[in-house]
Amino acid sequence: MPRDERSLVRDMQDHLGIPGEEAELYVAALRVGTCTPADSRERAAAEALRARGMMIVEAKGGRYLPVHPRLALSNLFRAYEERAARERKERRLLVDRLTLELITLVPGESKGTNAGGPGVGRTPR
């Protein structure tokens, strides 16, 4: 037996980062089978869901159809993984750049090597 729709919406919001209005619209569209936005806010939410890969636009009529949850949530997770991988790569590049910049502040460092050798110029503990 499925949980109540409010808790499903809350989980989509809290754990998947989907705004409440979008999560509510997606759940309602799943239940009904389609979504015809009633106003500009609903249309914006439907478009955001379409951009997330959770809805598609019907060829005629301007209605939105919900993508099956297996595919929709897979789309979300794939986008999350791609974003996380991109952020890790950017952070790694930042760490590398900062390392090279900070090395120049260490006395005796030149091009990433310690001219004085290990332990030279360091204060004993």
Tell me the residue range of the domain where 63 lies. Answer: 5-103
Query: Between 40-51 and 20-32, two packed helices, what is the crossing angle to 10 degrees?
Result: 90
Helix (H) or strand (E) holding 40, with range, is: helix 40-51
Q: Report yes or no on whether pTM surpasses 0.75.
A: no
Residue 125 lies in a domain: no
* Phi-psi group of 62: left, alpha or beta (phi > 0 → left; psi -120 to 50 → alpha; rest → beta): left
Q: pLDDT in tens for each of the 125 residues of the chain?
A: 567 899 999 999 998 889 999 999 999 999 999 999 989 999 999 999 999 999 999 988 789 999 999 999 998 888 889 999 999 999 999 999 999 999 999 998 766 555 555 555 555 55
First to last CA, the chain: 64
Total domains, the chain: 1
For residue 75, being part of any structural domain is answered with yes
Q: Fill in the amino acid letter for 76.
A: L
